[in-house]
Amino acid sequence: MAPENGRVELMLPPPVITKTRPIQHYNMLSNWITPWDYEESIDAAIIGAPYGYTGEAAAPNVIRQILRRFATRNANFDTDPVDLKVRDIGNVAMHPTNVYRCHENIENALTDVYNIDSGFVPIVLGGDHSVAAPSFRAFKGARSETVGLIDFDAHPDTRDWRTNGPGSGTPFRQLLEGGHLDGNNAVQIGFHGFLGSSELFEFNKGHGISLYPSAQVRRRGIRDIIKEALDKASDGTDSIYISLDIDVMDTPWGPGTGGEAPGGLDSHEILEAMYLLGRHPKVKVMDLVEIDCIKDVRDVTSKLAVNIIMSFLTGVNERKQRVYR
Ligand SMILES: [Mn+2]
């Protein structure tokens, strides 16, 4: 139940972002993505879920600051999603020490927000990857009977949360074993490096999850992989949840993250993927996690994050406008 002012109790309003001086012919993102009044009907929104124990907690606000420098025009796809109505809903309030309370706040706040407007596409900004579990549950609980998953990740993220509590390495095991996600509708794209154990890879395969390592993406091409991933995640489901751990990137494209490793996706691949996913009618929610602003180098990773969000929104806009190409 929303408080009487129409706002959600556990949502802190978006920080004040200095507007970019209006420039003729430019639609700067800081003027385009404005705070939501909880009343107007919108197409998409960003929501911060700033849980993390290093620089990930700062990511939503850093990304908001970086948005100021960019325009809506998408040069990669020769189009401008400016007609899409995108708003900022703010950040979920975090507890200073208790991870369970933080995750509970995320699930409850998102649920309340989704119940106020059931139509918009949420873009949940982490935070570390642990936020994907409460975020997925909130989406499924409020909006959809069955939800498939396309996860971009360097790692399996199915460690047992019963050992050391929920964390960035556990969200998909929580979702699988909690009965929220059927592995046969789940896909993971971009595994690379030498950071996961065989046991976890086998665990994921045993649950029916399809794995597309980064090297396979490079050999077959991202369009082919995304088509297959969408077929699988949409088969018998109402909607598809996109989870994007920025550690899926090759080191130079995403230095600002905890688990970066050589051999990941490049920026062309991830931007093409997000555009294609944004176009698909069943893709109704995404998260973007693990951006560690303290480790980042010259904002490379946060700038990529803005490009990822805008590529996705370009796809969402073309879906809405029924542009097919
Ligand atoms: Mn991850």
- Tell me, what DSSP letter sits at residue 34? E
Average pLDDT (195-221) is: 96
- In this prediction, residue 24 has a pLDDT band, given cuts at 50, 70 and 90, of low
Residues lying with their CB under 5 A of ligand 1, a single-atom ion: 129, 153, 157, 245
Give domain status of residue 1, yes or no: no
Compute the distance from residue 151 Cα to the ligand 1 centre, in Å: 8
Cβ atoms 175, 139 nearer than 8 A: no
Q: pTM for the full model?
A: 0.96
- pLDDT band for position 323 (50/70/90)? confident
Query: Which pair of structure tokens corresponds to residue 293?
Result: 């602003």
How confident is the model at residue 325, as a pLDDT? 67
CATH at 181: 3.40.800.10
Domain region containing 219: 11-321
Measured in whole angstroms, the distance separating CA 251 from the mean position of its chain's CA atoms is 19
User: What one-letter code names the amino acid at 309?
Assistant: I
pLDDT in tens, 242-263: 999 999 999 999 999 998 999 9
- Residue 22 binned pLDDT confidence (cut-offs 50, 70, 90): low
Cα of 112 to ligand 1 centre, how many Å? 26
* Whole-number Cα distances in Å, 235 to 174, 187, 204, 224, 229: 22, 12, 19, 17, 10
Instruction: Judge whether residue 71 has pLDDT over 50.
Output: yes
What does the DSSP assignment read for 43-85?
Answer: SEEEEEE---SSGGGGHHHHHHHHHTT-BS-BTTTTB-GGGS-
Q: Does a cis peptide bond (omega within 30 degrees of 0) precede residue 263?
A: no
* Average pLDDT over every residue of 153-180: 96
Looking at residue 16, its pLDDT comes to 84
pLDDT of residue 53: 87
Q: Can you tell me which residue has the tokens 């990773």? A: 301
**Mean pLDDT along residues 268-274:** 98
Q: How many domains would you assign to the chain?
A: 1
CA of 296 relative to ligand 1 center, distance in Å:
17
CA distances from 269 to 32, 193, 261, 275, 309 (A): 26, 18, 16, 10, 14
CA 169 to ligand 1 center in whole angstroms: 6
Is the pLDDT score of 26 beyond 80?
Answer: no
Residue 2 is predicted with a pLDDT of 47
Per the domain annotation, does 25 fall within a domain?
Answer: yes
Q: Is residue 5 part of a domain?
A: no
Q: What are phi and psi of 37, to 5 degrees?
A: -95, 10
**Largest distance between two CA atoms of the chain:** 56
C-alpha span between 146 and 185 (Å, rounded): 9
Q: What distance in angstroms lies between residue 295's CA and the mean position of ligand 1's atoms?
A: 17
Does 3 map to a domain?
no
Residue 2 within any structural domain of the chain: no
Lowest mean pLDDT among 2-6, 37-41, 95-99, 116-120: 2-6
* Cα 153 to averaged position of ligand 1 atoms, centre (Å): 5
C-alpha 168 to ligand 1 mean position (Å): 6
Say yes or no to pLDDT of 38 above 80: yes
